[in-house]
Amino acid sequence: MAYYEEDDLSRFSEVGKHRPELFEKFMAWYQACQEDGALSRREKALIGLAVAHALQCPYCIDSYAQSCLESGSNLDQMTEAIHMASAIRGGAALIHGVQTHNSVGKVSM
Amino acid sequence: MSMSLPVVETEPRLASTPIDFDEKLAGLGIDLRADVVRTLQVNVGKLCNQACKHCHVDAGPSRTEIMTQSTAEDVIAALRRSQIPILDITGGAPELIPSFRYLVIEARAAGAHVIVRHNLTVMFEQGQDDLPEFFRDHAVEVVSSLPYFLEQQTDAQRGRGVFEKSIDALRRLNAVGYGTNGALLLNLVYNPVGAYLPPPQFSIEADFKRELMVRYGISFDRLYTITNMPIKRFLDYLRRSGNEERYMRKLSEAFNPDAVEGLMCRSLISVDWTGRLYDCDFNQMVGLGVEPRLPQRIADFDAVEFAGRRITTAAHCFGCAAGAGSSCGGALAKNDGRQ
């Protein structure tokens, strides 16, 4: 058995079998976040896809790839969102180069 | 040699959960019955110059099933007899059927509004180059499939080279006045290029209007979003790609009671190329006729008898009631039922 099973995505609600009040609060908040607001559902789906890649969550990637298609995004737009997430992840690693330089500077003559 | 793609005739299914549209309606206290017939939708045959991967008709260049002149005359007689206001002609590519122009001309003479489901590329077939002028001269409403405003997605579904020809055809329709002045209606149809639901109609329509104008200088009136039906070629695709279970679950979970009121079967009667009657074009393709107590042929059709009839349903009906709903006129509900 693999750690990640595709069918487990549709079993998400089973998490709510224990402490259902906590799961229900999460779901209410989660669903409210998806609705059209100052940002459109389409923009939110692209953000969700980008975050899913940053988190490298296969369930979220699967789910938000579908959401992006069903809110009207195409693969070019989705790929740009993925590059944004990746670029920020890359930048976040690279900016720590300053930490390295600081550390090296502290102990160097 | 046949150019048709493999076809499976059986109903879609969920392995773990039975799908019963009637049960779903009954659970909500809905008795699905027809209203007055406002549209006579005629599928004049399976002959088409294209063989699209999602086609619920399994239409293509090698198909030979087409309506005879005698059946076309029965259609016009029924239209006149029952004073049905709209004749909606579909196929295949209906323009390739010898009785096509007869249907248009006689329906217009009877005072009906005529809609033609026109695939755009057929106007480049032999003998069809005057179609834009023919449509214009008879004030036909043109409804044309263009699954996306980009070549890759369109050709993936409808065949190589279809997008480029479709753009040329749209320019020709614009040139004779279609989609430019609100009088000659040119409506496009979006359907997903795969196993997912369409986006909200208003948002994808705005994308199509902007992109087609900026990229190609093309204008049109409305964009209709239509859900792919799990019938024939699309069902076969779902099975081959391992998506059937997931897609059917998606349709049933996206069931939207608000879409039921406007289901096209409530105001439409469908006729096949032989003259047999159905509640819709999808039922026609899986051979589900109208209630057995009613006349089964267009020659015997009477609008009064058909008003209030019980609609025959099957699992594919979830396709029309999912999300914002789906019909030959696009989405049905203002909301898509999603939280």
Q: Does any CB of chain A come closer than 8 Å to the CB of residue B150?
A: yes
* Average pLDDT for B190-200: 93
How high is the pLDDT of residue B332?
66
How high is the pLDDT of residue B4?
41
pLDDT score of B115 more than 60: yes
Task: Provide the residue ranges of all domains of chain A, joining segments of one domain with +.
Answer: 36-109
Rounded to the nearest angstrom, the minimum Cα separation between A72 and chain B is 5
How high is the pLDDT of residue B109?
98
CA-nearest of B58, B84, B77, B91 to B297 is B77
Cβ atoms of B52 and B158 within 8 Å: the answer is yes
Which residues on A lie below 8 Å from B148 (Cβ)?
A: 74
pLDDT score of B275 more than 70: yes
How high is the pLDDT of residue B2?
36
The model's pTM: 0.87
Per the prediction, chain B carries an average pLDDT of 91
Q: Say whether domain A36-109 belongs to CATH 1.20.1290.10.
A: yes
Instruction: pLDDT band for B3, please (50, 70, 90 cuts).
Output: very low
User: What residues contact A52, with CB distance under 8 A and at least 6 apart?
Assistant: A60, A61, A63, A64
Top pLDDT among B29 and B338 is at B29
A66–B196 CB contact, under 8 Å: yes
Rounded to the nearest angstrom, the minimum Cα separation between B196 and chain A is 6
* Average pLDDT for A82-103: 97
Task: Provide the residue ranges of all domains of chain B, joining segments of one domain with +.
Answer: 21-321
How high is the pLDDT of residue B6?
41
User: What residues contact A26, with CB distance under 8 A and at least 6 apart?
Assistant: none
B194–A71 CB contact, under 8 Å: no
Q: In this predicted model, what pLDDT tens digit does every residue of A14-39 receive, in sequence order?
A: 999 999 999 999 999 999 999 889 99
pLDDT score of B15 more than 80: no
> How is the beta sheet containing B113-117 ordered, strand by strand?
B223-225, B186-190, B141-145, B113-117, B86-90, B39-43, B268-271, B277-278
A74–B249 CB contact, under 8 Å: no
How high is the pLDDT of residue B124?
97
Instruction: pLDDT band for B181, please (50, 70, 90 cuts).
Output: confident
pLDDT score of A4 more than 90: no
CA angle B7, B120, B150 (to 5 degrees): 85
* Average pLDDT for B175-193: 95
pLDDT score of B155 more than 90: yes
How high is the pLDDT of residue B334?
65
Q: Determine what percent of chain B is predicted with pLDDT higher than 70.
A: 91
CA-nearest of B154, B249, B254 to B194 is B154
Which residues on A lie below 8 Å from B249 (Cβ)?
A: 10
How high is the pLDDT of residue B49?
95
pLDDT score of B324 more than 90: no
A66–B199 CB contact, under 8 Å: no
- Assigned CATH class of B21-321: alpha beta
Least confident piece of the model among A98-107, B9-18, B147-156: B9-18
CA angle A94, A99, A100 (to 5 degrees): 85
Top pLDDT among B85 and B181 is at B85
